[in-house]
Amino acid sequence: MDIAVPEDLPVLSAEEQQLISSKPLYLAPEKKDFEASAKAYFEKRDVVPMLNALLTEIYLVQPDDPIDHMLKFLLRHATMRELREHQDATAQTLHHVADQAVAYSARFKLPHLFDELLTALLAEAPEDVVRFSLTWIRWHKNGFIARHVPEGYRAYLAAKDSAGTS
């Protein structure tokens, strides 16, 4: 099969060729602008106090299933005011579990979970971050566990599987 190429195609000048080759095809948003808008959103919607309350609760309790515990916690403390009150009441007790918190986070890959949650918050920019987080965590739990296979969930899932087959 022969393909005919038209001979009367327009030719770019040397300046036009240089201009095209010097510009990237994709212009990413400026990092500085993105960081500023993310910071403004997090401050406006009180994302940091919500995350602090979640992490404080998880680190103090250290449940076998931190994701389910987060869901129950967000259902119990459904408003930012309730989250702040809980955070204020428990923040002083966190200093004695710092080393255990690091190991616990690593075992359940909590930094990965919160990174994905924060990325989703920035992408969606919801008005109600507590309700969005609750829904997002509920819908993405199984996918997160399948993708990251946290060490802490291996025993939990094995116990769940054996209970389901007996």
Collect all residues with Cβ–Cβ distance below 8 Å to 51 and sequence separation of at least 6. Answer: 114
pTM of the complete model: 0.69
Q: What is the DSSP letter of 99?
A: H
CB-facing half-sphere around the CA of 94: CA atoms within 13 A: 17
Mean per-residue pLDDT pooled into runs of 10, the chain (166 residues): 62 66 51 82 87 86 92 81 69 69 89 94 91 94 86 78 69
Quote the tokens at residue 129: 């971050």
**Could you give the residue ranges of the DSSP H alpha helices within 23-65?**
31-44, 47-61
Query: Which residue, among 122, 112, 116, 117, has the nearest Cα to 45 in the 3D structure?
Result: 122
Are the CB atoms for 94 and 138 separated by under 8 Å?
A: no
Read off the DSSP letter of residue 151: H
Over residues 30-44, the pLDDT tens digits come to 667 888 888 898 889
CB 124, CB 144: distance < 8 Å: no
Give, as one character, the DSSP assignment of residue 1: -
Phi-psi region of 41 (alpha: psi -120 to 50; beta: other; left: phi over 0): alpha
Cβ-based neighbour number of residue 37 at 10 Å = 13
Residue-level pLDDT at 31: 66
23 backbone φψ class: left, alpha, beta (φ>0; ψ -120 to 50): beta
